[in-house]
Amino acid sequence: MVSQLEKHATSLNSNVARSSPVVVSEEAEALSHSETTMKLTPSFELFQLLEEFEGGKAPPSMSGNALRTPIQNGKDTLAGFDLSEYLQNPKLIEALPDPFKMVEKELQPFSDSIKELVSTDQPILSMAAKHFFEKRHGKRFRPTIVQLVAKAVAAATPDTGVPSGNVQWSGASTLAEPVTPENHQGSDVWRRQAQLGQIVEMIHVASLIHDDVLDEADTRRGGEAVHKLYSNKVAVLAGDYLLARASVLLARLENTAVVQIMATALESLVAGEIMQLKSPPETLLEMETYLRKSYYKTASLICYACRSTALLGGHVYDSAAATACEEFGFHLGLAYQIQDDILDFTAAASVLGKPALADMDLGLSTAPILYAAQETPSLRALVMRRFKKKGDKQAALEALYKSVTAMDKARALARFHAQVSFDFTFGT
Amino acid sequence: MVSQLEKHATSLNSNVARSSPVVVSEEAEALSHSETTMKLTPSFELFQLLEEFEGGKAPPSMSGNALRTPIQNGKDTLAGFDLSEYLKNPKLIEALPDPFKMVEKELQPFSDSIKELVSTDQPILSMAAKHFFEKRHGKRFRPTIVQLVAKAVAAATPDTGVPSGNVQWSGASTLAEAVTPENHQGSDVWRRQAQLGQIVEMIHVASLIHDDVLDEADTRRGGEAVHKLYSNKVAVLAGDYLLARASVLLARLENTAVVQIMATALESLVAGEIMQLKSPPETLLEMETYLRKSYYKTASLICYACRSTALLGGHVYDSAAATACEEFGFHLGLAYQIQDDILDFTAAASVLGKPALADMDLGLSTAPILYAAQETPSLRALVMRRFKKKGDKQAALEALYKSDTAMDKARALARFHAQRAIDALLRLPQSDSRDALIRLTHIVITRKK
């Protein structure tokens, strides 16, 4: 157990060297930077990836996570919210407002605008894009998050923050008047934040469409994968169109910091795919590798969108509000992915819309398998060779089912991240 | 002939309706716009697409093309430059500076940085990307153009321009001090403009890599198409990575107008691919359709990069300098594409690096075929069905070779745009870099490969 922790600690120390799957040289970076451009630290170096007993530790204070103080405007009835109580008694959560219903109506014009993006002059392309927007079982998850974060930060007075390090920029949108909960709805700020939610959705869907070309998945989200119904050609084009359109809309938000942050989110998505394509085999066993990959593939888009929503609302990059937003999105994104990976084993294909074991079919090991491999040394070689040999997947499954603790540990990891995401507070 | 002109005039009038292959509703657009966001007019509505005798006409003055006055700082030895003289006597052009040699050295660190972008930790991906940057026969065409335009506009004093319409923004980068030819080299402005050139190259290469997934071309630019050497999977990923990286670098230029313009360029590239995928058959015969598609696929990236280079240099969007830049890039891009399409018929595969008739294999009709179809009515059905039937391509080729005028008309169209490109350049003050761009334009339409 100790050697495992030591190993984890060592690997965390070499985080910096391995933090990006694609390394850009310092010289190349220097050519693109000036004194005022943003030097973003990847979110998993700002916030905690793993619990201490698994070798994780709280990252040091730096630009991006320096201000983690609560912003209180009054009494908080949910102070000290303990997720485990609400898991033990599921009825309790219904006292809180329904997130999807709250913003469904105001999001409608923006989501309609995505469907209209693709004219009927191009039936093949419009079918491909609509496929995802109409047939998906997703609940417009990301735009809902962005919209709720937008409202939540409207309740926090924009503060100048405490710049840590050499921060010469603030990133906050220049606003005619400060945002308040009273003037937020229907304002230009509100409109831009809602647009950001749609931009995030477009980037997400574009990555799914391209991902299908990558994964050759047979089904995706309850419908045929785009590239099976239509050629790879159309799938690449549909994804490229959504990305290009998202870029135009992003630029129109007229906040250069937000553009830099969201461009970095896009880069992270692709980096995550690259990590998935080819990682050094020995790293495949490490929980940090898995969590970093989950950050790149899933959490980065969400947490960067949350930080950006605060900036659009007039908060500076290093403010308590903007930091809380990114930290929330970071942990929520990881919790979401870990739960998704758990469901890959526990839910039937008919419910999920994709066959179970999709990850293993691609040679990918996720939290449940990794915890099983910690317990069962014979599983490690299978993980490292990405289940290539005949019988590997079955052997891995059996090891997982035999394990008394693996699935519970995965659930605990998801809960850890969910709890930490609650551990920020806004005043109301 | 008259009815043909009438037809063209009518189709030009319906330009607005058909100007974008993908239509975004006004409501959707309104949700993303504010008073200060840019409302860009497609360049082919700002500048002339066709000569008058073919039904083209000079577009009306509007934001984007309002200021087309010359900026003169002194004597211009190339005033009234007539391309046809320089085509008759090719030695004459050598009096102008060599465009590629002029900027080769200063571009080196920036192009090295692209190669370094993909680390050796990811050998498959790095091979895919390097494939294009190292094995390509291209001469870093786009970064060269951007760098020369950057130098050329440094010689034009930034002016406030004459805002036409309700232009509440200028788009010009905020600079500590005004750019001059003396302080330009090595400055932050120079650095950003050189970065823009690399960004343009990255976007271009990404589109080529993705295009190969689309076209399933067997060879591309002298090497195996990326997706034949590596899977479609890697090709999509390599292209996506370059686009994402380009987006980050673009954002770091810290000019929101430039980001809007270049994002629109990226959107235009994709729109061009969409147009190629599926156009209404009757439009396939029209020269405007072909030229608009050539704008979307080729010229838009170049002309928007040129306008952006001027903005980075401190010129406002509606200035004479910035307008001249976009107009130059627009016509140069079209001339380049038309020449490329001519070479598709005249150059052998070994020289071009791709088999001749690549366009026809994809069912695409370009300038030479379109002019032949104007002359030979039986060719029109073949164009409209995209050469699907057995023997169609051969029949089209024969019609083209039989025609006395088709190839000449295509060459004339390329020359028209090249002259217009030079006319735009002549509005900028004379400088070595501006003259090098004139020579570059000459190279574009005289190249044999």
What is the reported pLDDT for B164? 41
Residue carrying structure tokens 């309104």: B30
Closest CA to A40 of A351, A313, A268, A319: A268
A88: three-class secondary structure by DSSP: helix
| Block residue for tokens 């156009």 | B279
Q: Determine the Cα–Cα distance for residues B428 and B150; give it in Å rounded to an integer.
A: 12
**Do residues B56 and B50 lie in contact, with contact meaning Cβ atoms separated by under 8 Å?**
yes
Q: Which residue has the higher pLDDT, A75 or B287?
A: B287
Q: Give the closest of B23, B121, B266 to A21, CB-based.
A: B121
Contacts of B204 in chain A (CB under 8 A): none
Residues of chain B neighbouring A269 (CB-CB closer than 8 A): 244
Contact list in B for residue A274 (CB cut-off 8 A) is 122, 125, 237, 241
Instruction: Locate all alpha helices (DSSP H) within B164-282, ordered by sequence.
Output: 181-184, 188-215, 226-229, 232-251, 256-277
Average pLDDT over residues B135-161: 82
Q: Which member of B21, B25, B188 has the closest CB to residue A116?
A: B25
Please enumerate in sequence order all residues whose Cβ is within 8 A of that of A315, keeping only pairs 6 or more positions apart, or say none.
A153, A156, A158, A159, A161, A172, A321, A322
- In A, which residues are within 8 Å of B34 by CB distance? 188, 191-192, 252, 254
Partner-chain contact A241 B37, CB within 8 Å: no
In angstroms, the CA B133 to CA B238 distance is 12
CB distance A22–B236 less than 8 Å? no
pLDDT at B224 over 60: no
Of B35-49, B90-104, B330-344, which range is least confident?
B35-49
Question: What are the tokens at A407?
Answer: 């699935």
Average pLDDT, chain B: 84
- From the list A236, A248, A255, which residue is nearest B236 (CB)? A236
Percent of chain A with pLDDT over 70: 79
pLDDT reading at B413 higher than 80: yes
Q: Which residues of A touch B192 (CB under 8 A)?
A: 34
- Other beta carbons within 10 angstroms of residue A147's beta carbon come to 24
State which residue of chain A sits closest to B22, comparing Cα positions.
Answer: A119
Distance of alpha carbon A291 from alpha carbon A417, whole angstroms: 11
Q: Do B233 and A241 touch (CB under 8 A)?
A: no
Please report the pLDDT score of residue B218 as a whole number: 47
Q: Cβ of A273 and B240 within 8 Å?
A: yes
From chain A, the residues in CB contact with B264 under 8 A are 248
* Other Cβ atoms within 10 Å of A184 Cβ, number: 17
Cβ neighbourhood burial of A267 (10 Å; 0-12, 13-18, 19+) = buried
Which residues from chain B sit within 8 angstroms of residue A196, using beta carbons?
A: none
Per CATH, domain A97-157+170-427 is 1.10.600.10: yes
- Pair A159, A67: CB distance under 8 Å: no
| Cβ distance of B121 and A232 shorter than 8 Å | no
Residue with the larger pLDDT of the pair B129 and B418 = B418
Name which CATH class applies to B97-160+172-446.
mainly alpha
Q: What is the pLDDT of residue B5?
A: 44
Output the 3-class SS for B414-445: HHHHHHHHHHHHCCCCCCHHHHHHHHHHHHHH
Q: Count A/B contacts: CB-CB distance under 8 Å.
A: 213
Confidence at residue A347, expressed as pLDDT on a 0 to 100 scale: 76
pTM of the model: 0.88
Asked if the model's pLDDT at residue B141 lies above 60, the reply is yes
Nearest CA to A406 among A363, A375, A380?
A: A375
Look at A168-177, A365-374, B31-40, B385-394 and tell me which has the smallest mean pLDDT.
A168-177
Under-70 pLDDT residues of chain A = 1-23, 113-139, 159-169, 214-230, 348-356, 424-428
CB contact under 8 A, A117 and B22: yes
Exposure on the CB side of residue A84, measured as CA atoms within 13 A: 4
CA torsion, ordered A103, A107, A108, A113, to nearest 10 deg: -170
Contact criterion met (CB < 8 Å) for B27 and A240: no
Contact between A237 and B125 using a beta-carbon 8 Å cutoff: no
Question: Would the pLDDT of B122 be above 70?
Answer: no
> What are the pLDDT digits (tens) for A273-318?
888 877 788 889 999 999 999 999 999 999 999 999 999 999 999 8
In this prediction, residues B42-46 reach a mean pLDDT of 93
User: Residues of B with CB below 8 A from A28's CB?
Assistant: 112-114, 116-117
Best of B38, B245, B264, B308 to disrupt the A interface (most A CBs within 10 Å) is B245
B10-31 average pLDDT score? 59
| Residue A183 Cα, gap to closest chain B Cα (Å) | 18
CB contact under 8 A, A28 and B263: no
In A, minimum Cα distance to B169 occurs at A254
Q: Which residue of A has its CA nearest to B270?
A: A241
Cβ-based neighbours of B336, under 8 Å, separated by 6 or more: B298, B299, B302, B444
Partnered with residue B219 across adjacent β-strands are B224
Is the CB of B22 less than 8 angstroms away from the CB of A118?
yes
Tally Cβ neighbours within 10 Å of residue B19. Answer: 16
Residues B110 and B198: beta-carbon distance below 8 Å = yes
Q: From the candidates A26, A237, A242, A273, which should be mutated to test the interface with B, based on the most B CB atoms within 10 A?
A: A237
Structure tokens at B421: 């490109």
CA distance A19 to A81: 32
Residue B193 has pLDDT above 90, yes or no: yes
Nearest CB among A113, A121, A267 relative to B21 is that of A121
Contacts of A32 in chain B (CB under 8 A): 195, 248-249, 252
Report the C-alpha gap between B361 and B355 in whole angstroms. 10
Q: Which residues of A touch B36 (CB under 8 A)?
A: 254
CA of A271 vs chain B CAs: smallest distance (Å) = 7
pLDDT reported for residue B31: 86
- On whether the CB atoms of residues B145 and B333 are closer than 8 A, the answer is no
Q: Specify the residue for token string 């938000």.
A: A253
For the stretch B345-374, pLDDT in tens is 887 544 555 446 778 888 889 999 999 999
Q: Which two tokens stand for residue A333?
A: 């994104």
pLDDT tens per residue, range A154-185: 988 776 444 443 334 688 888 888 888 999 99
Query: For a pLDDT cut of 90, what percent of chain B falls above it?
Result: 55
pLDDT band at residue B15 using 50, 70 and 90 as cut-offs: very low
